[in-house]
């Protein structure tokens, strides 16, 4: 069971790496090698908690790559211009707005604790 699940996560990682880094053979190879090294390190792991943690981590990395990593490619006709390759899987504007605390909004900026108003 664990071997089948591990192979599934491994294949998922390789597939998304190939999609996200398509055409950049050096990066595809580096990502593939790093993924393989991490899986080989845990090949003989028998602790179910460590195995589950590693599989969860692998799935999270695959999800991060799928939703948050976009490849940019140079536009040949325009020096210094790049095209960002966005897909349907990418998360765009889905992060909650950062809230500024009331303390920061009302921060005093003058010397010696006096009000700047």
Which residue is associated with the tokens 């190879």?
A: 29
Distance CA 52, CA 94 (A): 28
Which residue is associated with the tokens 């504007």?
A: 93
Measure CA 18 to chain center. Answer: 14
Question: Residue 72's pLDDT is what?
Answer: 87
Question: Is residue 100 over pLDDT 90?
Answer: no
Per residue in 8-63, pLDDT (tens digit) is: 999 999 999 999 999 999 999 999 999 999 999 999 999 999 999 999 999 999 99
Task: Judge contact between 73 and 23, C-beta under 8 A.
Answer: yes
Q: What does each C-alpha distance from 109 to 78, 99, 100, 102, 114 come to in angstroms?
A: 45, 20, 16, 15, 8
């Amino acid at each position: 069971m664990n071997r089948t699940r591990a192979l599934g996560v491994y294949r998922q990682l390789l597939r998304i790496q190939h999609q996200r880094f398509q055409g950049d053979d050096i990066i595809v190879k580096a990502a593939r090698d790093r993924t393989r090294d991490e899986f080989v390190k845990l090949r003989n792991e028998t602790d179910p908690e460590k195995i589950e943690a590693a599989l969860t981590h692998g799935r999270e990395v695959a999800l991060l790559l799928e939703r948050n990593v976009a490849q940019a490619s140079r536009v040949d006709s325009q020096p210094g211009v790049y095209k960002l390759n966005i897909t349907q899987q990418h998360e765009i504007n889905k992060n909650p707005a950062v809230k500024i605390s009331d303390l920061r909004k009302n921060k005093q900026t003058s010397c010696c604790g006096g009000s700047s108003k």
